[in-house]
Amino acid sequence: MGKPNSLRKLLETNEPILVPGIYDALSAKIAQQVGFKAVFHTGYGTAATLLGVPDIGLVSFSEMKERVSNICNSIDIPVVADADTGYGNSLNTMRTVKDYIRSGASGLILEDQVWPKKCGHMKGKAVIPIDEMESKIKAASQSRKEEKSDLVIVGRTDSLAIEGVEQAIDRVKRYHKAGADVLFIEAPNKIDELELIAKQVKLPLLLNQLEGGSTPLITMEEAKNIGFKIILFPLTSLYSSAKAIFDSLSYLKKHQTSVGIEDQLIPFDKFNKIVNYDELIKLEKKFSNKK
């Protein structure tokens, strides 16, 4: 079973899907080993870890594609990739979708912000006309067809903060008609809005749970009862790893040794297991000419 097909199989079940955000191959491997059934490649995390910058449209398409490819090649579970705005018009979107499919993505999120975009929970966003976004989703669907792929397209709108919840609902309904499989209204800021969205959009919905963001954090059971299918925690791994690095390096700077925080560090042997050291050494020996 290929990754795209297995993602669709998850969508066909009656249960919600809990999806963590990951930002590189290592965080992806950890997510798989912990037991998650799918992961999300975060553009926010890519901007932070690749360039050390905020998510304001500074990462190029080629940089994003390379990160997607590295992640997909490192794990066996489905990867939902952040495709931002498609990196241009409908033709650019077609190229983005095709290259993401060839990189191994099982799904992607395509949003309707003006490029350069911003993180959906930041101020100062702008969205493109709805007709233009419909064309991008149709282009994405055409690319999926040409690649003979079962890619899951998530249609995202950032219009709620600009045009209101009713217009955001109208947008995602049209995105579905254009070819989106899952719908995503970014940054509702109260439970009533979540309930209204689920009530009016009787289609698979994604809920974005960003710590410190605009949308209230709720439990998996609450999200299921409201009517959401994919429950996404895009930045939990990034924020936890950044804090761990900050804390451990602060300790090292202060004490000039790591003695005293060994229990906060992953052991050498366990880390080697995460990155498949033993398996790769066995493979190396298999093809070695040495007796």
Q: pLDDT tens, 37-92? A: 999 999 999 999 999 999 999 999 999 999 999 999 999 999 999 999 999 999 99
Asked if residue 76 and residue 210 are part of one domain, the reply reads: yes
Asked if residue 149 and residue 264 are part of one domain, the reply reads: no
CATH of the domain at 207: 3.20.20.60
Asked if residue 209 and residue 272 are part of one domain, the reply reads: no
Burial class (CB in 10 A: 0-12, 13-18, 19+), 163: middle
Asked whether residue 14 is domain-assigned, the answer is: yes
Q: pLDDT tens, 100-156? A: 999 999 999 999 999 999 999 999 999 999 999 999 999 999 999 999 999 999 999
Q: Is 112 helix (H, G, I), strand (E, B) or coil?
A: coil
Asked if residue 204 and residue 74 are part of one domain, the reply reads: yes
Asked if residue 273 and residue 153 are part of one domain, the reply reads: no
Cβ pair 108, 97 in contact under 8 A: yes
CA angle in degrees (0–180, nearest 5) for 207-85-241: 55
Asked if residue 255 and residue 233 are part of one domain, the reply reads: no
Residue 231's φ and ψ, nearest 5 degrees, are: -110, 110
H or E element in which residue 244 lies: helix 236-255
Asked if residue 208 and residue 165 are part of one domain, the reply reads: yes
| Structural domain boundaries, residue 267 | 251-286
Distance CA 175, CA 136 (A): 9
13: alpha, beta or left? (left if phi > 0; alpha if psi -120 to 50): beta
Distance CA 23, CA 239 (A): 11
Residue 202's φ and ψ, nearest 5 degrees, are: -85, 55
Burial class (CB in 10 A: 0-12, 13-18, 19+), 286: exposed
Task: State how many domains the chain has.
Answer: 2
Residue 277's contacts (CB-CB under 8 Å, 6 or more residues apart) are none
Distance CA 129, CA 230 (A): 26
Asked if residue 217 and residue 84 are part of one domain, the reply reads: yes
Asked if residue 282 and residue 139 are part of one domain, the reply reads: no
Asked whether residue 291 is domain-assigned, the answer is: no
Query: Which tokens is 85 given?
Result: 């705005």
Asked if residue 213 and residue 97 are part of one domain, the reply reads: yes
Helix residue spans in 75-190 (DSSP H): 90-103, 130-146, 160-163, 165-178
Q: pLDDT tens, 12-24? A: 999 999 999 999 9
Asked if residue 271 and residue 129 are part of one domain, the reply reads: no
Asked whether residue 246 is domain-assigned, the answer is: no
Asked if residue 263 and residue 235 are part of one domain, the reply reads: no
pLDDT band for position 288 (cuts 50, 70, 90)? confident
